[in-house]
Amino acid sequence: MFTSVLMIEKPLTPEDVDFVTTLHGEERISFVVLLQPRGDQADVLLRAIDDVAMGELRDAVREGEEPEGKEAREPAEIGLEYSLRALREAGAEAVGQVIEDHPLDKLTTVVEDAGADEVIVLTAPHYVEEFFHRDWASRARHKVGVPVLKLFAHSE
């Protein structure tokens, strides 16, 4: 069985589930999902700049409303359960956890413990962080000994 660590920041859309479960053709796949709520990832200014760069001006104005810390935990747990259920319904095995601190701190251990074959980073574009190679995928490539694939999540 092929094992992927899937790093996400919001619940998977049906398109995301279809995309990640078919990446390896007919091979059976197992996912270890790490979800970190968007509000806990970067400071509000960086998120707002990303929104402006994507032409999402309304989202940029609302970045300060994104739940953080304890307020983000319950919606994140619900989103994780939804995502795990969707992956299982698509025929994959899936377990996961909400990461309150930066998920890269835990990534190496998760990859080793799961015997993962790859890491898939599925996020919205983060142009500022990507430009400076501070995004999850760029940083993960320096931490783990498996391939790291960066994919852009589908919008709802």
pTM over 0.85: no
pLDDT one-digit tens code per residue, 87-122: 999 999 999 999 877 677 788 899 999 999 999 988
Residue 42 located in a structural domain = yes
Residue 155 located in a structural domain = no
The one-letter amino acid code at 121 reads: V
Residue 104 located in a structural domain = yes
Domain count for the chain: 1
Residue 156 located in a structural domain = no
pLDDT one-digit tens code per residue, 25-80: 989 999 999 998 765 445 554 555 555 555 555 654 444 445 555 665 788 899 99
Contact 140, 109 (CB under 8 A): no
Residue 33 located in a structural domain = yes
Residue 52 located in a structural domain = yes
CATH number at residue 135: 3.40.50.620
Residue 77 located in a structural domain = yes
Q: Is 154 helix (H, G, I), strand (E, B) or coil?
A: coil
- Domain membership of residue 124 as a residue range: 1-150
